[in-house]
Structure 1
Amino acid sequence: MPYGNLVAQAVQRFAAMDDLVEHRVTIEEREEYEPHIMAGGVIYAGVDYERILRQAEAEADIVIWDGGNNDLPFFKPDLWVTVIDPHRADHGLRYFPSEVNLRMADV
């Protein structure tokens, strides 16, 4: 999630720890991105979702789009996966958009 100058942060790519410094990320962003980078993952962030998706598609065979916070996807996924918290399983059918995610999911 970009903060600050949204024009400059339209599309961000993080594949190395130095990228976090280059993009001047916040502490919150660093906490979110570091584990994935350290595991060898590449992360895209920003506010121009179409450009982010196109750039990620050009680089990767598989793109995992994490909506987070029960968001709905911005793009029609080829495979819709929904994961629920086992400690709050009933929430999936009681709250929006959790129920939508469960009903639309392929997995």
Structure 2
Amino acid sequence: MSAEAAADLDLALRALADGNRRAILRVIRSGPQPVGVIAERVSLSQQTTSHHLGVLRKAGLAAATRDGTRHLFAVEVDGLAAVRSYLDDFWPAKLAALKSAIESRDSDDRG
């Protein structure tokens, strides 16, 4: 992993560490939403919501578009790809261990 990719991953993981930001991502994953709607759905002020959206944008996890005078925010799928790729590296070993444990248990049950 390049230094730039590692820095991007660190930003994304730091952004995801905050529960408010994860709640915001849940709201905007269904489609673009204005700050006011997001703030209402996550029970935060618009100012606080805007701050969290800024962190998510800087981390590459959210994107903003304009609709007239409104800014709409949506999940940036490409930003989540680095996080998913990092986490996916953990699954093969865990799945292999789970498979081994189940097979061992099954052979003990039949034995």
Structure 1 length as normaliser, TM-score?
Answer: 0.28
Higher strand content, 1 or 2? 2
Q: TM-score, normalised by structure 2?
A: 0.27
Which structure has more relative contact order (CA 8 Å, sep 6+)? It is 2
Larger Rg: 2
Structure (1 or 2) with the greater helix fraction: 2
